[in-house]
Amino acid sequence: MRDDAHPELKDLARDLNAEFPALSPLKRLVRLRAVTPGPLVFTTSLGIEDQMITHLIFKHDIKIDVVTLDTGRLFPETYDLWRQTEEKYGKRIHAKYPKGDKLEELIDEQGIDGFYYAKEFRLNCCGVRKIEPLGRALDGANGWVTGLRADQSANRQDMDFVGFDSVRGLIKANPVFDMSREAIAEFTADNGVPVNALHDKGFLSIGCAPCTRAIGPGEPERAGRWWWEDDTKRECGLHVPDRHEVSEGAGI
């Protein structure tokens, strides 16, 4: 995408980033919807912060599409929570799935659990199961809402409340960016928001079942993701700019 594309959205992202610190998460979502033209999409992993955002969107009927990426390797508890959330709010969480032919190619090339053997293989798997479906989820949207928080990892502390995703050409808003996990847990408990049963078992950041473990005392929140890798900046690529482009092959 050209650097001068979507100047109006870039200006809007800058203005919203200046406004967000003084607003509550609900007011941030309302303001984002009020001033952003076109579709907005919230992608949820059904983690505790995402459940708070889903609650705010559904309860207050904010016109933001709620979408999850079903990789096909999620925990049973995550599917249970998905159903419980739809039942509670009477609204649908839409799903995007990996393309079948690309998934078959991936497994033929590197095996069913090839991600354990090389970081390249793990990124390939994330590319097919998450990055490419995310592209379809955001197709046509002008804004993307996420549950990113500054205290999740050192890699996320320098992100903005609202930025412009120059690769995808849209606004990216993080309405709970400045909230602690403890504050979000208090909110979900006080408001009867369903949360993943795995959180009480030490699974603080929950992704695909083979790639997530419970964390121990003193470990950072995302230490349980891709724990076999030495790299401290462990990301699937959804929120890393140089991982946005997905090839037509088995990976990215």
Count the Cβ atoms, other than its own, within 10 Å of residue 202.
13
Closest residue by Cα to residue 214 from 195, 227, 201, 226: 201
List the catalytic residues: 236
Q: Has 132 been labeled as part of a binding site? A: no
Q: For the chain, report the end-to-end CA distance as a whole number of angstroms.
A: 18
- The annotation status of 23 as a binding-site residue, yes or no, is no
126 is in an annotated binding site: yes
Q: Please tell me whether 211 is known to bind a ligand.
A: yes
Contacts of 89 (CB under 8 A, 6+ apart): 54, 55, 58, 59
CA distance 149 to 176: 6
- Which residues are documented as binding site? 125-126, 208, 211
- Which residues are documented as binding site for [4Fe-4S] cluster? 125-126, 208, 211
